[in-house]
Amino acid sequence: MQAPLQPVSIAGLSAAIRACRVCRDVPERPLPHEPRPVVVLSAAARILIAGQAPGLRVQETGIPFNDASGDRLRQWLAVSRDQFYDSANFAILPMGFCFPGYDAKGSDLPPRRECAPLWRAPALSAMPQIGLVIAVGGYAQKWHLGRCAAAMTETVRDWRQHLESGVLPLPHPSWRNTGWLRQNPWFEAELLPVLREKVSRWIS
């Protein structure tokens, strides 16, 4: 399947993404389960959450950030579940649309490589109203910041510079980053108040 060459409606593009089965059919590294692309495109939202890839619970429920990481992210944003899942407030476009499976150590594999080259440009083009991209984790930061993205800590520490271009980098809200949050208290003291203020401007 190829991404659309001409602009299409949000509904049409969302349907095309949900019907995509490219990763399932890659012979050298097929997806270990039936694809279930999880995205939220919006013609109204001013904020885009660019995440990594769905976890297993998200894959099972079809609801983005429907897990402990999502709870922490909503706390960072200072929004309720209802506000978070209102597509007039947030668009959600991860780097990989389906749960990629686990590695030998039981950790989530990286986002599938097929999704971003195929769908990211059409999806972003369909949402020109986006004013702020919240880039969650290193994969999203490298895509949206390009050469400006360094190691995750350095990238997030330089958030003021990146915010000038409309991108705010965040660490992944996984429990695995709890130690990082303790070691970097400036994140909650300096970055989160600015994030919450900007989010509050554009949500209902």
Domain carrying residue 156? 10-202
Q: From CA 78, how far away is CA 128, in angstroms rounded?
A: 25
**pLDDT for 149:** 61
Residue 116 lies in a domain: yes
Angle between helices 68-77 and 192-202 (to 10 degrees): 80
E strands present in 7-122 = 47-50, 90-92
Task: Summarize pLDDT for 115-156 with one digit per residue, the tens.
Answer: 999 999 999 999 999 999 999 999 999 999 986 666 889 999
Would you say 42 and 203 are in contact if contact means Cβ atoms under 8 Å apart? Answer: no
Instruction: Write down the pTM of the prediction.
Output: 0.92
Q: From CA 98, how far away is CA 58, in angstroms rounded?
A: 9
Those residues with Cβ within 8 angstroms of residue 60's Cβ, 6 or more apart along the chain or in another chain: none
Residue 81 lies in a domain: yes
The DSSP symbol for 187 reads I
**pLDDT for 23:** 85
Exposure string (b/e) for 34-73, b if CB count within 10 Å is 16 or more?
A: ebbbbbbbbeebbbbbbbbbbbeebbeeebbbbbebbebb
Residue 3 lies in a domain: no
Q: How many of the other CB atoms lie within 10 Å of CB of 175?
A: 10
Would you say 91 and 71 are in contact if contact means Cβ atoms under 8 Å apart? Answer: no
**pLDDT for 28:** 73
Q: Which amino acid is at 138?
A: G
- Domain tally, the chain: 1
Residue 160 lies in a domain: yes
Residue 62 lies in a domain: yes
**pLDDT for 5:** 47
**pLDDT for 121:** 95
For the chain, the first-to-last Cα distance in angstroms comes to: 37
Residue 52 lies in a domain: yes
**pLDDT for 204:** 78
The SS3 call for residue 89 is coil
Q: How many of the other CB atoms lie within 10 Å of CB of 148?
A: 15
Residue 43 lies in a domain: yes
Give the CATH number of the domain where residue 80 resides: 3.40.470.10
Parts of the chain with a pLDDT under 50: 5-7
Residue 192 lies in a domain: yes
Q: In Å, what is the CA distance from 129 to each residue of 8, 90, 126, 197? A: 15, 11, 9, 19
